[in-house]
Structure 1
C-alpha cells in the first residue's frame, strides 16, 4: 500500500448539534419569560443561557478535520480547519507511534457509541485520531474502526 489516503469529518453534524443546543436554550428563555421569579423559572432561564453559550461556542469552534495517512512518508497529517481562527496542522511520524489502540466513548444503554483510534506515542502521550464529536463516517461501528486501525498500522509499518 503506497498511496496516501484521506478521511474527512462531517462538520454539518457538529453545526446541527450546536444549533440544536442554542435553539433549546432560546426556547427555555422565551417559554419562561413570563414565568415569574420562582427558583425553578430562574434555574430554567439560567440553563437556557448556558445552552445558548455552549451552542454558540460549539458553532464557532466547529470545522472540518482532515486525516491523511501517507505510507511513503510513513506519517499521519491531521489538519483542523475551524470556522474561526487559522487552520492547525499536526504531523505524526510512524517512528513516534508505539501502538495503535481503539478508544470508546458512550454507553450501549443509551445507544450513543463512538469509537476512535488512540495513538500511543513513544513520549508517553496519547493522540486521538478520528476523535468523537467530529462525526467521521463509520465511527459508531467497532468493526469499521478496527479496519481503520489495521489500515493505519499496515500503512505505517507499525506492528498490530
Structure 2
C-alpha cells in the first residue's frame, strides 16, 4: 500500500521546495518542484525607524526592533491600531510610551490590520522582554508586496544600527 508524504527537501536552492510523494517503496519517489518566494518563509524586514515586519504568506506581523526597545527603555503603555484599520506605508500606526520617552510606530508596509496584540494592554513590558515573539504589536494583510523590496533584511539592518 502506498503512503503519501509531503516534505521539505532542499536541493541547491533555499527558495525551492520539493513536494514528494512516496509511491510503493521509499526508494521510488516522484518529486515536483514548487517555486516560492522567500517572502513566504517568515523572513523579517526592517525599517530605518526600527520597525520590523515578519512575512508569512500574505500576513505581516509588525513590531519594533530590539535596538528600538533598548533605546526606549521600559515600555509602560502601548497604543495599537484598531482591527480593520487601513494603513499606508509610513503612516503612524500606534504609540509606545516608556519611562524615557514616547515614540510613534509607523507602518512598514501598506495593508489592513487584522489583529492587535491585546496582551500588551496588561503587559506592555513584553515589548522589552520579547520584542520579536510575544511583544509584537499588530498583524496585517499585505496589500503591496513590492514595498518589502525597499526594507532591510536582518543582516543589512544589523550593519545599519552599527553605523
Structure with greater proportional strand content: 2
Report the TM-score, using the length of structure 1 for normalisation.
0.26
Structure with greater proportional helix content: 1
Higher relative contact order (CA 8 A, sep 6+): 1
